[in-house]
Structure 1
């Protein structure tokens, strides 16, 4: 992976260098042709001296344009804003190149490359070729930027795929999480002695939890989506196990209208969020953890709980919110699919639903 990243970095540098060479060479030739026409290629002195002066001026203009270029991508960073970037780069390069032309004009006079005096038609012709070169430079700059963006997206995709594999491994571990299983069996042993009827229901809900986990995880199920209805049924079983363990220390409210039940989402989303909330917050009858799951009017899931952080917390051993964000980014093919909101009282996670 390190070697691939290094080679990708080298590839991007070569692309940038190639773009600079092509841009510089094309602009030098266009500038020479615009200034001296046929004489530029027929007269050796004009070609060598003129190209040298033009190359120095264009290099200085390139450095100035490169300093301004990041501002363009900062204003219009998205792939669909290509036209705006090219137009702005063209404006920047055109202004810079024309300005440098008037700076080096005295050098042309001293070298005997142009006659003394001002010729409007000649100035307009030169300006046209300068702007043509600027347009080429803008196009090549956009090409280089698009290539860098493509490589960045490829690198991010590879990283997400690696993280997805780790997510699958974590999910498999979660299926046989010894701590969760131990807590369930410990609760069950108490119920068998004290409340056999409750113990029977506990076993039934526990089997539903593991059956669901096994049905949505495994090879070939990386991109599987489940309905909100099935996820809520699983969550109710999971909540029953938690409420049996924590009693009044946890209170989970599911407030979802039937119209949203057909929406699709990533499986085990609520389990991940509930586990995260339990891990990082105090759960006790004296200070119950209150969790509420709702769907907003715009069709987005909202998972919210009160904040009562633990003083000390061990590293979370189950897939966390970072993994959930990565999962939704892959499923929805865009960043920002999961939104986190937090204040001194509550912590909320907003997730999208897919309706087909």
Structure 2
């Protein structure tokens, strides 16, 4: 079994060593009494041996502590966890102290006999110290966990603000608006009824952007309602050059995901790949089981240089998922297509039911 001690900072080891030195002097003073200071050799040898024993006990207790924290991670389990920690630490300390002073009695150099009365006082003292240190270390651990959670919250807030700015950029994106108005102008001349439908869908898209740019998560159902309007605009623009297939399980519709994620995915695919009748871009988004969406599209990159960083929007979504404790996987499948796996997030209310 690995003890995972290498992850501790050097300052932590220095603190443990300092505490062990103090306890060494205290414990040896109780057990050896005045003979502990009778000779520099006895003082040095006894101090070194007891200090080594205490460091070994500290490492064992650290390993046990990490195991129990993993076994009882929930807030409501803290009393049970602390009780087991204290009981285990005391038993380990008592066992090693018994072996330690039996060893001292067996070595003629120390000229001491096994004294059960003094050992009992050592047990009592060590137990009190163990209880105090356990509560102290648990308080430090909880403070560090709170500090880490606070930092992660700040990071999530930063990523969320970036997502808001990105959504605002999409709202005023001149290229997107120009293409939509150009398509609308053509439709007015060709088919007024289609032009009216196009205008209605365009208003739905911008209404969604304005309403949800401040939301952290939305349901898949809400996102799909917006996405259908957005796809309508794209089909009017690209015609048969763009084919989008959506197939989501009904059970996934109540799950959550960051707003505009699917729109960013489709926009990114259209911006980076050729979209034409001769080389149609085929985008498929479907449920892949276990509340995960699978998005695929054929790769046919544009040869001319791009003047916009289309990956930035998708990068923000990847970072946001990471901060939520999930992963947005972007890779290629066996057919050479772009593959994106999108985990859906369960609503807290849904989990409680």
Work out whether the TM-score is over 0.5. Answer: yes
Change (3 A) 1:136 1:53: farther
What SS does the aligned partner of 1:251 have? strand
Structure 1 gap segments, 5+ residues each: 1-11
Change (3 A) 1:45 1:167: same
Structure 2 counterpart of 1:9: none
Q: How far did residue 323 of structure 1 move? A: 3.0
What SS does the aligned partner of 1:304 have? strand
For 1:287 and 1:52, locate their aligned partners in 2 and report how far apart those are by CA, in whole Å: 83
For 1:340 and 1:318, locate their aligned partners in 2 and report how far apart those are by CA, in whole Å: 16
Note the 1:142-291 alignment, pairs <5 A: 142-217=138-213, 221-223=214-216, 225-256=217-248, 261-263=253-255, 265-279=257-271, 283-285=275-277, 286-291=279-284
Q: How far did residue 236 of structure 1 move? A: 0.3
Structure 1 counterpart of 2:20: 24
Deviation sequence 1:1-47 (CA, Å, 0-9, x none): xxxxxxxxxxx9899489647843663365236524xx47xx99379
For 2:209 and 2:295, locate their aligned partners in 1 and report how far apart those are by CA, in whole Å: 23
Tell me the TM-score normalized by structure 1.
Answer: 0.67
Q: CA RMSD in A?
A: 4.8
Q: Which moved more, 1:312-321 or 1:95-104?
A: 95-104
Deviation sequence 1:149-198 (CA, Å, 0-9, x none): 32222222222222222222222112112222233233334434444443
Contact 1:341–1:349 (CA<8 Å) still a contact in 2?
no
Deviation sequence 1:83-130 (CA, Å, 0-9, x none): 3994798499749965994798489964x5x51x44567667756766
For 1:131 and 1:322, locate their aligned partners in 2 and report how far apart those are by CA, in whole Å: 52
Contact 2:37–2:43 (CA<8 Å) still a contact in 1?
no
Q: How far did residue 305 of structure 1 move? A: 1.5
Structure 1 residue corresponding to 2:325, chosen from 318, 324, 335: 335
What SS does the aligned partner of 2:262 have? helix
Change (3 A) 1:175 1:74: farther
Tell me the number of residue pairs that the alignment of Structure 1 and Structure 2 aligns.
Answer: 327
Structure 2 gap segments, 5+ residues each: 1-7
For 2:302 and 2:92, locate their aligned partners in 1 and report how far apart those are by CA, in whole Å: 57
Tell me the TM-score normalized by structure 2.
Answer: 0.67
Contact 1:293–1:303 (CA<8 Å) still a contact in 2?
yes
Q: How far did residue 263 of structure 1 move? A: 5.0
Contact 2:321–2:328 (CA<8 Å) still a contact in 1?
no
Structure 2 counterpart of 1:349: 342
Task: Specify which structure has the bigger relative contact order, considering alpha-carbon pairs within 8 angstroms and separated by 6 or more residues.
Answer: 1
Structure 2 residue corresponding to 1:292, chosen from 285, 288, 300: 285
